[in-house]
Every structure is written in structure tokens, then in C-alpha cells.
Amino acid sequence: MNYRMNLARVLILFTLTCFPVVPQAQQQDAELAIEAAQTAVLDHPDVESNRLQLASLYLKAGQNPGAIRTLQAWLNLHPDATGALRLVAVAYLRSEAYSSAKAAAEKALRFGPRDSASLEVLAMAQLGLQSAGDAERLFQEALRLNPNSPEGNLQLGLLYSKQRANLPEAIRLLEKAHALQPKLAGTCAALGSAYLEAGNARQAAASLELAVQLDPVGAAPYYLLASAYKRLHDEQKATSALAAFQIRKKAEAEGRAQEMRSRADYEAGVNLLSNTDQLDQAYLLLQKAAGERPVFDAAYYRMAQVSYLKGDLTHALGSIQKALTLNPLEPEYYYVLARCLQEADPHRAFAAIEKAIALRPGVPDFEDLLRELKNRR
């Protein structure tokens, strides 16, 4: 694989300057901020700014599915909300769902002003869809509207660098992006790659050393750094950088494989739910999916469904509470919680179904359960 060329994909996914992913050391603070934002959405689900704040925090924490869920729930009720459309396009970009990102960005431009931020997101979606010409045109338009956009300078510079065309202009744009926001690992990596293409190994090494200092986890910059050291005839440093790259690349591959196994087990388990004779096998597959990926809230939700169908309310309650701990904004989880509690604790069941309706009004099953619980009072 050509890791230098693949750097474009890495940057699209992880270095959007408006929402840089927080370092591992700051993850605990990020989780606390997310919990506070989740509470704000639960308390006031009809306030758009609460949703946008929570989605932004999810993006900064690298929790793209959470951002998509939060924003899509709002867009289901408000399909022309331009802020939510632009933000969900960013989340789709980071999830490599480029067609969805393109559709959301185009809607943001259709319903709102033709601003540089929306144009940049649309351009990145076009890059993901291999439409480099459209992406270049959109980045140029965005920079005409806002010449000091770090994202626009970064992405257009990266595009020129990747194409190995007009390297002096690529370096100028990337240097400007770096000057505007000097502490972004992705910008340093892109600048280092451009210097490497231009034959300036010493400048490349300096930029790439800063990139790995700012983000020691990402694999691709280490590969480029090894190439820079080789050109500088520093074999010891080149060997060390290449070893660091291989360790991180292996960890990335293992993480992707684990997620794919979890998803496959989950889908297989869900497919068995319609057959009551195979509920035990479905539960085992869902349990395996959750074991592979402990933050997979949907797996716990489906496990709760299976336990509920089997009449095992104790296990159903435990599973749905786990799902809600991981994702306290999914209305369907509160519905299942209410079902589990409706006999043993009608008061808590009533509070749970009220929460489900507040988060997603107009669902017939939710309304039916609410009426049923009211009639028991």
C-alpha cells in the first residue's frame, strides 16, 4: 500500500480542524463533558443548541456514531436545520460514509447560505467519492469566501500535494494552515508529506516529528517520518520510526477486525430474532458482539429484547440499563426499560416512557404504553 497517498484519507477522517479529536490523556475530561451535554439534551430535548453541543463533543471524542444519532434525531423533526446538516456531514465524513456526507452538505447549502464551512465539507465528501476536480473547485470557492480558513488551506494544499502537481502552491497553502493552527498533528503530517515530495527531507522530518509528538497514536506519519530519515541517511531513526509505524498499523488493523467481527455477530443475532426457536442462539451471538466491543449499546439493547421475549425480566433489565449507560439518548431503550419495569415498578416505568416520548414524540407504541400505565394509576 502507498501510505503517502493514503494520507489523504487519514486527514479527511481525523483532522477536520473545526473538531480535532482530543488526545487520549484528555479523554476523561471529554467523557465528563459529554455526560453533562447528554443531561442537557435529556432535560430539554427540544433545544437545538443542546443537540449541536453534544454532537460537537462526540466528534471531538472520536465518537462518530453518537454524533450521527444525536443529529439525525433532530433532523428527523427539522430536516432543514442547516447547522445540524453541516455537522452530521462531518460525522459521516469521519465514518467514511461519503455519499451521506455529500447529501447532508448539499442540503445545508440548499437551505442555508453558501458559506465556506459547508463548501469545505462538501468538497471533502467529493474527495472521498474520488471526484478530485469537483473537490478542487469547491475548495477554491471556499477560500475565496474565507482566505484564512485553516481547513480550506489544509485540504486544498493536501490535494495538490497528493496529485504531485504545483508543489510550491501546496506547500504555501499547508504552511498557511499550519500558521493558522500550529498544534494540529494532521496539518503537520500533510506539510511533512509535501516537503518530502518536494525533496526537502530535513523540513519534512521536522514537520513529521512534530506530527507524531502531537499525536503519537496515528500510524501514517511514522511511515513518512521513516522515509524522511532514510533520505537523511539516518538509518537508526528510520528503523525506529518504521517499527513504530508497524506497531500502530497492526493495532489499527486489529481494531478494525474486532469491530467487523462484532458487527457480523450482531447482524447474525438480529437476523435470528424473528425465529422464536432460535432465541438462545441469537442471545449468544449478541453477547459475543458485546464482548468484542463493550461500548456497542445496540447489542445490549437486543440482548434485553431477547431476555424480555423469554420472560427473563432480570437479565432484560440489566442489559437495557447497560445500553442506556452507553447511550442515554435512544428513545427505544427507554421504551424497553418501561416494559421491563411496568409490573415491578410502574412509577419508574412511567418516567421511562415519558422520557422516550420527550425524545421522540408521536410513536404509537410509546403512546399506547403511556396510556396503559396511566390507566393503572
pLDDT digits (tens, 9 = 90+) for 273-282: 988 899 999 9
Cell readout for 286 is 449478541
Mean pLDDT, residues 204-210: 96
- Asked if residues 181 and 198 have their Cβ atoms less than 8 Å apart, the reply is no
Percent of all residues in the chain with a pLDDT value above 90, rounded to a whole number:
74
**Residue carrying the nine cell digits 459475543:** 288
Residue 188 has pLDDT above 80, yes or no: yes
Tell whether domain 254-376 is in CATH 1.25.40.10.
Answer: yes
Residues 221 and 233: their CA atoms lie apart, in Å, by: 18
- Asked if residues 174 and 190 have their Cβ atoms less than 8 Å apart, the reply is yes
**What is the reported pLDDT for 271?**
95
Cell readout for 123 is 468538497
Residues 153 and 305: their CA atoms lie apart, in Å, by: 49
Residue 1 has pLDDT above 90, yes or no: no
Domain ranges of the chain: 3-192, 254-376
Least trusted range by pLDDT, from 2-6, 89-93, 136-140: 2-6
pLDDT tier for residue 105 given thresholds of 50, 70 and 90: very high
pLDDT tier for residue 22 given thresholds of 50, 70 and 90: low
pTM (whole model) above 0.75: yes
Residue 18 has pLDDT above 70, yes or no: no
> What b/e readout covers 262-301, taking b as 16+ CB neighbours within 10 angstroms?
bbebbeebbebbeeeeebeebbebbbbbbebbeebbbbbb
Question: Within a 13 Å sphere around the CA of 255, how many CA atoms are in the beta-carbon half?
Answer: 8
**What is the reported pLDDT for 83?**
93
Neighbour-count burial of 363, counting CB atoms closer than 10 A to its CB (0-12 exposed, 13-18 middle, 19+ buried) = middle
Residue 16 has pLDDT above 60, yes or no: no
Mean pLDDT of the chain: 90
Mean pLDDT, residues 146-151: 94
pLDDT tier for residue 137 given thresholds of 50, 70 and 90: very high
**What is the reported pLDDT for 20?**
55
Tell whether domain 3-192 is in CATH 3.40.50.300.
Answer: no
Cell readout for 355 is 422520557
Neighbour-count burial of 71, counting CB atoms closer than 10 A to its CB (0-12 exposed, 13-18 middle, 19+ buried) = buried
CA distances from 265 to 50, 279, 318 (A): 34, 14, 21
pLDDT tier for residue 62 given thresholds of 50, 70 and 90: confident
Distance linking the first and last C-alpha atoms of the chain: 65
SS (H, E, C) the chain: CCHHHHHHHHHHHHCCCCCCCCCHHHHHHHHHHHHHHHHHHHHCCCCHHHHHHHHHHHHHCCCHHHHHHHHHHHHHHCCCCHHHHHHHHHHHHHCCCHHHHHHHHHHHHHHCCCCHHHHHHHHHHHHHCCCHHHHHHHHHHHHHHCCCCHHHHHHHHHHHHHHCCCHHHHHHHHHHHHHHCCCCHHHHHHHHHHHHHCCCHHHHHHHHHHHHHHCCCCCHHHHHHHHHHHHCCCHHHHHHHHHHHHHHHHHHHHHHHHHHHHHHHHHHHHHCCCCHHHHHHHHHHHHHHHHHCCCCHHHHHHHHHHHHHCCCHHHHHHHHHHHHHHCCCCHHHHHHHHHHHCCCCHHHHHHHHHHHHHHCCCCHHHHHHHHHHHHHC
Residues 58 and 66: their CA atoms lie apart, in Å, by: 6
Question: Within a 13 Å sphere around the CA of 184, how many CA atoms are in the beta-carbon half?
Answer: 25
pLDDT tier for residue 27 given thresholds of 50, 70 and 90: low
